[in-house]
Amino acid sequence: MNERNPDVAVAAQREPVPRRSVIPPGLRRITGHIPDRQVVRYILVGGCNTLFGYLAYAGLTAAFTRLTSFYPYVFAAIVGNVVNITLSFLGYKWFVFRTRGNYLREWLRAMAVYATSILITTAALPLIVGLLRHTTPYHRAAPYLAGAIVCAAGVMMSFLGHKHFSFRAEKKPAVPPLLGH
């Protein structure tokens, strides 16, 4: 027992209070290996990026539709992604993964993650638009609905790519023990 400060001894005997997760239990099973606060920051930054990206896509789709009938939504996706990638990279770097330095290396890695996601989602757009036009009464809205669908898939692919590639912590090599000591 600490004679100078009895509160220290009492505090040392208390059981630590487990932190309550802010993540719903169902999502917690999927994201259990990711720190709570990182997921919340990702959802906030990603939500803003997704909203901005989708609004840019919708606006550009409307603009390109006036210019060409040859897959205007694909052009909109490509142009919109270039702008949105820069904003999302900075948001994830500064607020989600909180890495320092290495701007060029991390930006190139982020571009690789996004390029993969963009290729997959852009290739899926005509398929999903066609499917929606043939199976729903939403012929004119099909590009916008398809954009929302591929946006959700892109969010999941991007998080995993950024977590495990773009902003991963560098592993420090183990230092071998000195021989004979």
User: How high is the mean pLDDT of the chain?
Assistant: 80
Instruction: Spell out the domain ranges in the chain.
Output: 45-166
The whole-number average pLDDT for the span 57-83 is: 89
Q: Which residues contact 164 (CB under 8 A, 6 or more apart)?
A: none
Look at residue 19 and tell me whether its pLDDT is greater than 80. Answer: no
The whole-number average pLDDT for the span 116-129 is: 90
* DSSP H helical ranges for the chain: 6-13, 25-31, 36-67, 72-91, 103-135, 142-161
Q: What is the pLDDT of residues 134-165, one digit of tens each?
A: 999 999 999 999 988 998 888 788 888 888 88
CA quadruple 61, 67, 69, 70: dihedral sign: negative
Look at residue 22 and tell me whether its pLDDT is greater than 80. Answer: no
pLDDT on residue 161: 87
The whole-number average pLDDT for the span 168-177 is: 66
Separation between Cα atoms, residue 27 and residue 156, nearest integer Å? 13
pLDDT on residue 101: 84
Look at residue 39 and tell me whether its pLDDT is greater than 80. Answer: no
pLDDT on residue 3: 56
pTM over 0.85: no
